[in-house]
Amino acid sequence: MKKEYVSLIVPCYNVAKTLQAFIDSVLQQTYPYIQIVAVNDGSTDQTEAIWKSNTDAFREKNILFTYVSQENAGLGAAINTGLKHIAGEYLCWADPDDFFMPESFERRVSALSAHPDCGVVTSDANYYRADDLTHAISKASDGMCHSLEPMQFEYLLKEQSIFCTGCHMVRMSAFDDVNPEHDIYPARRGQNWQMLLPIYYKYPRYFLSEPLYGYIIYPQSMSRGDATLEQHLIRLNEHETIVLETLKRMRMDNSVREKYLHDIRVYFSKKRFHASVDFQDKKQMAYQYDVLCQLHANTDDIQKRYMRNRNIFCKTIGKIEDLLKQ
């Protein structure tokens, strides 16, 4: 077997409770040529101690291990730090509260070797509850109707492509081609759009339907949904900024870029409008509707929902005012 290394970047922030299980899943890989680049993003727990306690195990498995510690700067910045240290022919990145299936790296390397035109291979993933890692509750591909399509760029733009972090392996020659600076937009929360959009724009993706990654849903993540409209809008704004900034950095014709920038602004403005209606915030709904009008995106369905809910809000306010007068 030719020595082609898989470089795995692992951004870490206070993950001591789950880190050893993740490391064990890497140690159990059937693929023999692995480099781990662990980036400790300002952890205050035992994250560093756990990494360093595994150095002998890495050595026994001939795993190249690089450990970097930095002040807390967020996921995007941690990926950028990791990119400075990679040495492999293939690149993965993963969250240290999930795990890889034993044949994950081997199957992905084989797929990229068999499909030299592809810049990335994406596998499916099983979703598990933290208290039961034997029975998957769903898959990353559930609801994704275009997984077998090789060109995934526009699907990913509209969140219709598998997004789960540890599902992807990128061919480094392709990554070097689209991102020679090895630098992504340093968002505090998020790195997948920045890593994948430039690759998807130029290169086909190969899809492995077998689940080669385990995504664990913890109780805190299940209850972490956006409780308020403000929280939801903050998250949407963060996502929009990541996509816009990534598009601005990509190599493409300016007219094409402007079209995609406009489409993304419309896409997230519609999401903010619908969220405002769902949270029954009349003021925010009116504001987001005005934004869509300015973008020339107040389509028939948007207009109908706006008018219908504006009338409902007005009637509700009228009833409340009548009750207060009694």
The sign of the torsion formed by the CA atoms of 206, 211, 214, 218 equals: positive
pLDDT at 206: 98
Distances (CA, A) of 276 to 270, 313, 315: 10, 12, 18
Q: Which domains does the chain have, with CATH numbers?
A: 6-221 (3.90.550.10), 229-325 (no CATH)
Helix (H) or strand (E) segment spanning residue 9: strand 6-12
pTM for the model stands at: 0.92
Structure confidence by residue, pLDDT tens digits, 141-181: 999 989 999 999 999 999 999 999 999 999 999 999 999 99
> Is it the case that residue 315 has pLDDT exceeding 70?
no
Structure confidence by residue, pLDDT tens digits, 132-152: 999 999 999 999 989 999 999
DSSP character at residue 5 = P
pLDDT at 321: 47
Mean pLDDT of 80-89: 98
Structure confidence by residue, pLDDT tens digits, 190-199: 899 999 999 9
| Residue 303, C-beta contacts closer than 8 angstroms, at least 6 positions apart | none
pLDDT at 260: 98
Range scoring the smallest mean pLDDT among 103-117, 215-229, 256-270, 300-314 = 215-229
Q: What interhelical angle do 75-83 and 192-202 show, nearest 10?
A: 60
- The full length of the chain comes to 326
Mean pLDDT of 53-76: 97
Q: CA–CA separation, 15 vs 173, rounded Å?
A: 31
Helices (H), the chain: 16-27, 47-53, 55-60, 75-83, 104-114, 153-157, 172-178, 192-202, 219-222, 229-249, 254-278, 282-294, 300-325
C-alpha atoms less than 13 angstroms from C-alpha of 5 in its C-beta half-sphere: 14
More confident residue, 309 or 34: 34
> Is it the case that residue 320 has pLDDT exceeding 70?
no
Percent of the chain with pLDDT over 90: 89
Token digits for 245? Answer: 């900034």
> Is it the case that residue 122 has pLDDT exceeding 90?
yes
Nearest to 237 by CA among 284, 199, 278, 293: 284
Q: How confident is the model at residue 220 (pLDDT cuts 50, 70, 90)?
A: low
Residue type, 194: Q
Query: At 130, is the secondary structure helix, strand, or coil?
Result: coil
